[in-house]
Amino acid sequence: MDFAKTFLLFVVTALAEIVGCYLPYLWLKQDKSTWLLVPAAGSLALFAWLLTLHPTAAGRVYAAYGGVYIGVAMVWLMLVDKVKPTLTDWIGVAVSLVGMAIIILGRRPAP
């Protein structure tokens, strides 16, 4: 799987995870409908399934995914929560994305 496809898959995976966690938050903290738990469960199931689409060891996928998740979470903070990320937030995102790229693009021992 090439880097662009992997990155896009990570973004979609992060959105599924964030939505799956945000909907219960709305129910618990903002007194929204209990019915939000139904799409939340579906979104978290989608998140787990999306992680299985990567052709490498699960631990490596989860570690690299974390970098993309951080970036998507900052965009969510800005667009959904209407909070402006700070310069240090964006620096942290950049550092995590560099770490993700190192994990994904790094050399692997021969099988």
Q: What is the pLDDT of residues 34-83, one digit of tens each?
A: 999 999 999 999 999 998 887 676 777 788 888 889 999 999 999 999 99
> What are the tens digits of pLDDT across the range 27-38?
999 999 999 999
Answer yes or no: are the C-beta atoms of 14 and 26 closer than 8 Å: no
Torsion of the alpha carbons at 98, 81, 32 and 65, rounded to the nearest 10: 0
What are the tokens at 36?
């939000």
**This prediction's pTM:** 0.82
Which amino acid makes up residue 100? M
Q: What is the pLDDT of residue 87?
A: 97
Q: What is the pLDDT of residue 1?
A: 59
Q: What is the pLDDT of residue 95?
A: 94
